[in-house]
Each structure stands twice: as structure tokens, then as C-alpha cells.
Chains A and B, each alone.
Chain A
Amino acid sequence: MSMMSEFSKGFYKENPVFKLVLGLCPTLAVSNSVQNAIGMGVAATFVLIMSNVIVSLIRKGVPKKIRIPIYIVVIATFVTIVDLVMAGFAPALHKSLGIFVPLIVVNCIILGRAEAFAGKNPVFYSFLDGLGMGLGFTFALTIISIVRELLGNGSLWGVPLMPPSFEPVLLLILPPGAFLTLGLFLGFFNWLDAKRDA
């Protein structure tokens, strides 16, 4: 088990969105602009790292039968912290992410990492795992949102980039665009893998 591989696996090999197909609700919902995507990515990464660290610290004292409720309480505590901090310091972002901030609690990536990794591994590795997975999630959200915002709105991070003659594909920032973009990305990565293995 090398530290580097624990950290880097989240980016491509075990990317939570593209490879494990987890955490789809926030991925689809907040990827309509790059700002929202990065905001959600950072919030989820913070919760993921902190919950991984705490779960790993208490892993020897947690009775096996009630571990899931305990993990959920740990996660919900950090989500509450993120919710309050974001409402205080970034109210505009908090408003545009809406109910998806408290819903980080039920993001399957976070509970999944607590159960599959942090509950069995030492603190430092769990920290790296959380950081890597969180950044992998942010990375996936960001590239989906770049496609959607650039083609759907002709801008990136709110800055108009496309020439005035460009007609924005409004569909892409509407809900159907999220499904179509993610479906095509998943297909693209499958194709890439098949090509590499061949």
C-alpha cells in the first residue's frame, strides 16, 4: 500500500463519478456552472476528509452492528458545519446550491469511503484516501460543468468567452443536459478504457 497510490486512485482509476458511478445526484444537479461545481466539490471534499479521519480514529471502539448510524452522525455533524459556514461566508453560493448542501449527508461517496476504507485503515491513509476521492469528485464535477457552462451559456466562471455569433445550446444548462452530458462522458471513458486494453 503506497501513499501515492492511495491518493491518486481517486482521479482516474477509481474516480467516484466516472468509474464507481456514485454521488450522482449532486453531480447532475450542480454541474450547470463551474462556480457551483467547484463550491460543491470543495464542500464535499472537506466533509469526506474530516469524516474519514474521525471514522478511522474511532474504528477500534465502534461496535460492528451499529457502525452505519455512527458513521452517519459523524458525517451529518461535518455537513452541518459546512452548511453554517457556507451560509455565513458565501451566501450566494449557499443559495444556488440550495438543498444539495444538507444533502451531502446522503452522498454515497462519503458513507462508501467510511465503510470501505476508513473503517479498516490507519488515520493517515484514510486522510489521503479522503483527499484523493474528494479531489476526484471535484475534478469530475468541474469537467462536466465546463462542458455544460461553455456550450450552454457561452461562459466560464460567469465570464463570457464565446464570440457574439455563438448561439448557446440552452438545453445543456437545463436538466436534460445534465443527463446527456454525463451519459456521453461515461460512454467516452468506457471507450477509452476498451481502446487501452485492446
Chain B
Amino acid sequence: MDLNHLFVITISAIFINNFVLNRFLGICPYIGVSKNMDSAVGMGMAVVFVMTLASMVTWLIYDFMLKPTTSNIFYIIFSAKEPPDLTYLKTIAFILVIASLVQFVEMVVQKVSPTLYKSLGIYLPLITTNCAILGVAFLNLDENFNFIESIVNGFAAGVGFTLALVLMAGIRERLELAPIPKPLRGVPIAFLMAGLMAIAFLGFSGLKL
């Protein structure tokens, strides 16, 4: 495994193609959970965790259950004449896997570490409908990443999301005290801030890796 290549994937997912500011994935939690720092950090941690797991699991599902190869599980079990092409089921399979994964993680965390559950617990159910998680699964497919690359991409994308979320929370805590015109208070000013942050992140697109 080429470490250089993994480094490029990481930097690209965190800065150049930041999930929130460049790919527009996970905007709802970005605007909804960025009102204070503590919940932003909690949400960020939960997303990093679930995204890494989801990249891992969806890759395994796609390669061993949906893709028409000789290592397809259904091909082996039913000893069919040729490997079945089930890739058209990927949307349904991925969303179900991610929804059950989140539920499962919630139960495990609750059992194993009640303290962690207290800080992450309320964010986990919100994550099911976070398009960033399903998005990373589809992006891994589009980019033809292998198992390790998918995991690294999932982790880095989560870190990028957390970075944008925490930066935003820091700005919004200060905005509370700023004299903002009334119609722009709340969500509209958050979008304008996000626009300015996106301009800043646009600078990273000049990086040659």
C-alpha cells in the first residue's frame, strides 16, 4: 500500500473537497448543530465514527454481495451458472445497512461506555438521515477505491466535516453578540458565513498534490 496515495486522499477529503463547503453534503447538521461548541464537537465525533464504519461496511457489501464477481456470496451459496449483477440494488442496500449500523452502534455504545453514550447518544439517530454518510459510500464507489482507501476516505471526510462544523460553531457563538440586521439573524447569517468560509476553502483547490 502506497502511503503517499493515502496521504493525498486524506488531504483532499479534508481540505480540497471538504464535504460541507465544497461537496454540499451534511448541510442540515452543519446549520442545525453549530449553535454551540460542545454539541458541534459531539456531533463531529459521532460522524467521524459512523462514517469510517459505514465506508468499511458498504465496501464489503458492494464487493461481496452486489458486484457480479466470482467472489459474490450469492454466487457461491447458490452455485449459480454466472455471478448475479445486483448493483442496481445499491441505493436500497446502502441506506438499510447504514440505518441498521447506526442503530447497532447506538446499542453497543450504550452498553459498553455509558459516558460516551451520554455525549454522543443524542446525535446518533440524527446521523441516519445525514446525507454525508450515504454520500461517502457513493463517492467511494465512484472513485473506485479499494478497501483501505475507502476507510481512509471515510475517516478523512468525517474529519473534514468536523473541522467545518467546529469552525462554524466558533463563529456562531460570537455572532450571538453581534448587531446583525433582523431579517438575517439565525439561519440566513449562518449561510452567509458558510459562503465566506467556502471562499477561504477555495484557496486549497490550488494545492498540487
Contact = CB atoms under 8 A, between A and B. Distances in A.
Interface of A: 21-22, 24-26, 28-29, 68-69, 72-73, 76-77, 79-80, 83-84, 98-99, 102-103, 105-108, 111, 171, 174-180, 182-184, 186-188, 190-191, 194
A98 B24 CA distance: 13
A50 B88 CA distance: 19
Contacts of A105: 91, 95, 134
Nearest to B90: A102
Chain B interface, DSSP helix/strand/loop, else mixed: helix
Interface string B78-91: 00000000001111
Chain A interface, DSSP helix/strand/loop, else mixed: helix
Contacts of A83: 91
A14 to B, nearest CB: 16
B198 to A, nearest CB: 4
Nearest to B27: A24
B96 A73 contact: yes
B158 interface: no
B150 to A, nearest CB: 15
A175 B22 CA distance: 6
Contacts of A69: 96, 99
Contact of B198 (A21, A24, A77, A176): A176
B95 A80 contact: no
Contacts of A108: 28, 129
Top 4 nearest A-B pairs (CB, nearest first) are A183-B191, A179-B195, A191-B183, A180-B195
A141 to B, nearest CB: 13
B111 to A, nearest CB: 21
Nearest to A79: B91
Interface of B: 21-28, 31, 88-92, 94-96, 99, 129-131, 134-135, 138-139, 142, 181-184, 187-192, 194-196, 198-199, 202
Contacts of B189: 183, 187
Given A184-B192, A187-B184, A190-B188, A102 B21 contact: no
Contact of A175 (B95, B184, B191, B198): B198
Contacts of A72: 95-96, 99
B138 to A, nearest CB: 4
A180 B130 contact: no
A105 B129 CA distance: 9
A182 B189 CA distance: 10
Contacts of A29: 23-24
B134 A183 contact: no
A103 B135 contact: yes
A165 to B, nearest CB: 26
Given A80-B92, A108-B129, A179 B138 contact: no
Nearest to A178: B24
